[in-house]
Structure 1
Amino acid sequence: MHRALLLWPAAALALLGCAAHTPAEQLAPASDTVRVCEGSRCVDQHRSHQRWQPPAADAAAERRLEALSRLAAQDPKAAYDLGLRLLRGDGVARDSFQAIEWLRQAGDHGLVAAQLALGRIYLQGLEEMGPDPAEAEAWLGRAAAQGNKEAGRLLPQAQAAKRDAQAGYQVRAAERSAWGRWYAAAPYYWYWGGAGWILY
């Protein structure tokens, strides 16, 4: 009790100090400058100064990419090349989504190399994208139908993975339907006792 009485005057003085300032003064920044550091070098500069510089673009690389993109829209082999470059980050920023889009365009136009590549990608999965055995089977089947021996060798693996995935899905669906049963009977560890939570 005595400690609270001693702290009260200090708190009152702090509040009076805040009340002495106008709202605009309370919200105003303490200084018009900020310290900006890059590596081991720091400088003070005005808050309104902008220093961000976009990365320098390689104009020649951008022209090559634009030319390949235009060519890829017309030629399946160029679409395949662009897809590979995007997968590898070879001369372009890595972009697996765009890579697959270009490979699909090439595969849809009958390019066996693109169909095989898509079959492998969907069979194994890629980065954030997990495997998709049904897609793998479809693309490998298209390549195998054109006589590609590697696709013919991988096709049974894709079909087995598809069967396993379907079986796994059926198990998960059964588990989901049974989910409501377990929580109805599951006991709690804590209960509310009026003054707070109490562990059984």
Structure 2
Amino acid sequence: MNTAWRGGIAAACLMFGVAFAANAQSQTMPKPTDLATQNAVADYNAGNLVSARSQFRRAAQKGSRLAEFNYAMMLLNGEGGPANVPEGKKWLRSAADANMSHAQFVYGKMYDDGQFVDKDPAEAHRWFLRAASQGHVQAELALANQFLDGRGTTRDNEQAFNWYKKAAEGGDMTAQYVAGSFYERGGDGVERNLNVARAYYAAAAAQGDPAAKLKYLQLSAELEKQKPQ
């Protein structure tokens, strides 16, 4: 078992929330649990892991789902103290049950990969669906892959395309390439459209996908030939 499994401390989620409140000039004072979680994130980013873990634990016990998630990750990865997989799984599940989409995605990935739990693609599918239904881009991509492969669910290329398209619209490079390939070939409920395919390939190419750049150039040349002389 790989004890260096990474789900990722969700510091960005907290920082975005604080910035948004400041920009909105909110008059609502942060809750004590929010302040405690913010302090824990600051300690984590500064490398003071023992303090961060302790603060995440206290905030998690008071119901902060972000703290629950971050405390779970530290327990699973053995950061700021010894690893405690059973306790880490418990807090991760708590954050997922509290409808935190990233926790739902990570919990699903744990079952998809068979990390810390027996591999269970159907259970992974259930959690990916919950997270994807909230617009979680990584979960949308994971769900699309499951539908395409028939892993954890019935194989369904139309459903796969729908989720690839959602993830592509959310900016995922891989999903942009795959959505482009669906439009390039057509079928599975998708009307062939080389212009749309070219646009998706261009989006993926702009993020550094060399295969997408090649596809973009190929379709550009093909579409140029189709223009009336």
TM-score, structure 1 normalization: 0.47
Q: Which has the larger radius of gyration?
A: 1
Higher relative CO (Cα under 8 Å, sequence separation at least 6) belongs to 2
- More strand by percentage: 1
